[in-house]
Structure 1
Amino acid sequence: MTIRNNWTLQEVSEIYNRPLLDLVFQAAQVHRENNAYSEVQVSSLISIKTGGCTEDCAYCPQAARYNTDVHVHALMPLEKVVAHAQNAKANGASRICMGASWREVRDNRDFDRVLEMVTAVNEMGVEVCCTLGMLTYEQAEKLKAAGCFAYNHNVDTSEDYYTEIISTRTYDDRLHTLENVRKAKLTVCSGGIIGLGETNEDRIKMLHTLATLPVHPDSVPINALVPVKGTPLEHNKRVGIDEMLRMIATARIIMPKSVVRLSAGRNEMSLAEQALCFMAGANSIFSGEKLLTTPNPDVNEDRLMFQLLGLTPRAPFKDVQQEHAHLVSEKG
């Protein structure tokens, strides 16, 4: 299948609105043609700095302005991050994502400490991903030099609906960070959240934004909102499995080679519902008891699910083995 970056909004809309079984069937075919369909990339997320964020993202319990049960924790010590990463690797994770509740990266001692964490975790032979807020090209280059493999920065929703959810930064700020990440030759992880009160058209526009970037994101997380008491969206209704399937299947069809990650909201899904998501093209999950501050399925549950469905964990640095080996040899 040809990789396209010129999808029209009408084309994406027609795919998204197909009868659900037809949509899932087509996505499953695209997935098998373009990927090792039984391989699932297992990621683990470590909140290296929690709470106290100055942003006003309406879904986020880490925003300082909301009264939630999230307690503020300063930047985690290096030894603790390494211990968490070692445990995650022992439980099958091939990617360790480190998240800090910052609006943007600042060139200070804390960023220097994050660079040390990146180097230490990279030396374990796993992919390192960071999600630290907005960053400049120079900061992205520093992360790359330290051994960072990927950077996550979600667009969250459509450009039209974005101002209903966040006022402390713009949609263009998001896209500019993604440009800096790509320019620094880090792999790009960018997706969004459904269940924020957006329409189907907003969901289609968000997928269209991602699929018409100059290069598709290497990873596309699809999150279902987990409503948290104390946030403006605490009373939002949870999204249904049909809505998740439409997002995953459409993402798979229009971005055939991207890793599509079944992210937040998985804790509320049955095994059968998760199986449908894998069939529709999801090929990555977060493993571990928490996603930053929200619950996630137990590692043992995931192990049993993999056995039952015949899934295998994807090896780190797949398809980029030679490039990574070159980087390691340069450092050594």
Structure 2
Amino acid sequence: MSVIRHNWTKEEISGIYHKPLLQLVLEAADMHRQQHTFGEVQVSSLLSIKTGGCSEDCAYCPQAARYHTGVQVQALMKVDDVVEKAKQAKEGGASRFCMGAAWREVRDNRDFDRVLDMVKEVNKLDMEVCCTLGMLSESQAAKLADAGLYAYNHNIDTSEEYYKNIISTRDFDNRLDTLQHVRKAGITVCSGGIIGMGETDEDRIGMIHTLANLPKHPESVPINALVPVEGTPLEDSKRVPFYDLVRMIATVRLVMPEAAVRLSAGRKELSLAEQAMCFMAGANSIFAGDKLLTTPNPEFGDDMEMFQLLGLKSKAPFADKPEMKKVAVEAAAHA
């Protein structure tokens, strides 16, 4: 088994990233077999529980209020409606249900109380529950933990150096502060980034470097390929070459061996053979369902057909953290 490190240098990560592609994929596949059950894939479903109207200026996001993208602002969903969506996701094959709200930060108000109720109710379905709600304080993270939240997603997006070119309404340290609050609360961390936003290879390596040198690696690392949306500053961006995505996945697998590497946004543009190579390179998690918040995504049925063809199988909920199932059950009992 590989030694888990938290003292990587950018030069070391660069040396891995720039290896000949097939050699890199083979090494990553070997690491994947050492650390994980090969062919087992964690399936997540993502629902936008509050859409549009965000005050942030993230250059990639169609939900920013300042951009004209055609996304209609929608109020926070009702608890019962969210639970129904979670049931549908479970029937489709998802083991994790992630709820996303287009907020800059969580506020201590009725809306947050409703989200806490959503977490408790979805817990009753025996699913891992995840949220992505923007910045969190320590006390808010603790409340989510008490409600039985399994994971919190808060991507760092890119390198610290390139971050200001993508977002000006918060800084890179704000991202890291939220991850620290989530970790302190005992919630698992889901954090990755996006490629295809005009960044260099050095920026991609810098992003991996930041995550790899956290005191504890994220349990999930989503690797997103930009989906350009008309009306955003990045609308004219070219599609990320498929091999860049594979290179990122393989590098993350080698640098953070125990993490689930999630093949996320941009997957709809990949052929089945291209997705197969991503799984070979170490991806062992996907988002399934027809949408990722507001952008297209492959449907459950298509993914289950792919699983059958490639010999993949869905990972059971709480397989990695069985102790967190007890927390979820207890929180649901007090809902």
Class of the TM-score when normalised by the shorter of the 2 chains: over 0.9
Q: SS at the partner of 2:210?
A: helix
Identity level (%): 66
Taking structure 1 as reference, are residues 16 and 226 closer, same or farther at Cα in structure 2, changes over 3 Å only? same
Shift of 1:258: 0.2
Offset at 1:315?
Answer: 0.4
Deviation, structure 1 residue 330 = 7.5
Give the superposition deviation at 1:319.
Answer: 2.5
Aligned alpha-carbon RMSD (Å): 1.0
Partner of 1:109: 110
- Partner residue, 1:315: 316
Distance (Å, rounded) in 1 between the aligned partners of 2:85 and 2:110: 22
Query: What's the TM-score once normalised by structure 1's chain length?
Result: 0.99
Alignment of 1:123-142 (within 5 A): 123-142=124-143
Task: Quote how far apart the aligned CAs of 1:37 are.
Answer: 1.4
Shift of 1:329: 4.8
Deviation per CA, 1:217-245: give whole Å up to 9, x if none. 00000000000000000000010111000
1:69 Cα shift? 1.4
* Match in the other structure for 1:61: 62
Distance 1:228 1:331 in 2: 38
Q: Which residue of 1 aligns with 2:265?
A: 264
Match of 2:234 in 1: 233
1:331 Cα offset (Å): 6.4
Quickly say closer, same or farther: Cα 1:207–1:2, change in 2 above 3 A: same
Residue 10 of structure 2 corresponds to: 9
Q: How does 1:158-307 map to 2 (within 5 A)?
A: 158-307=159-308
| Counterpart Cα distance in 2 of 1:305 and 1:294 | 21
Output one character per residue of 1:291-319: Cα deviation in whole Å (capped at 9) or x when no partner: 00000012111011000000000000013
Residue correspondences, number: 332
1:24-35 alignment to 2 at 5 Å? 24-35=25-36
Take 2:208 and 2:124, find their aligned partners in 1: how far apart are those partners?
34
Instruction: Judge conservation of contact 2:54–2:64 (CA < 8 Å) in 1.
Output: yes
Equivalent position amino acid for 1:69 in 2 = G
Amino acid at match of 1:189: C
1:320 Cα deviation after fit: 1.7
Which consecutive unaligned segments of at least 5 residues does structure 2 have?
none
Q: Secondary structure in 2 aligned to 1:193?
A: strand
Letter in 2 for 1:170: D
Q: Partners in 2 of 1:329 and 1:109 — Cα distance?
A: 23
Q: Is residue 137–residue 178 contact of structure 2 (8 Å, CA) maintained in 1?
A: yes
Give 1:125's aligned amino acid.
Answer: D
SS of residue paired to 2:261: strand
- Cα deviation code 1:74-127 (max 9, x no counterpart): 001111101100000011100000000000000000000000001000111000
* Residue type at the aligned position of 2:53: G
Find the residue that maps to 1:159 and give its secondary structure.
coil
Q: Take 2:172 and 2:327, find their aligned partners in 1: how far apart are those partners? A: 36
- Return 5+ residue gaps in structure 1 as ranges: none
CA distance in 2, matches of 1:157, 1:173: 14
Structure 1 CA distance for aligned equivalents of residues 102 and 300 of structure 2: 25
**Displacement of 1:327 after TM fit?**
5.4
Structure 1 residue 328: Cα displacement: 2.6
Residue type of the partner of 2:265?
A
How far residue 169 of structure 1 moved from its aligned partner, in angstroms, is 0.1
Using the alignment, how far apart are the partners of 1:326 and 1:192 within structure 2?
29
Which residue is equivalent to 2:91? Answer: 90
Equivalences for residues 67-86 of structure 1 within 5 A: 67-86=68-87
- Work out the CA distance in 2 between the residues paired with 1:147 and 1:326: 6
Amino acid at match of 2:13: V
Answering whether residue 325 of structure 2 is matched by residue 324 of structure 1, we say yes
Shift of 1:135: 0.4
Q: Is the 8 Å Cα contact of residues 82 and 118 (structure 2) preserved in structure 1?
A: yes
Whole-Å separation in 2 of the counterparts to 1:69 and 1:245: 32
- Aligned-partner Cα distance in 2 for 1:20–1:284: 21
Please tell me whether the aligned partners of residues 148 and 327 of structure 2 are also in contact (alpha carbons under 8 angstroms). no
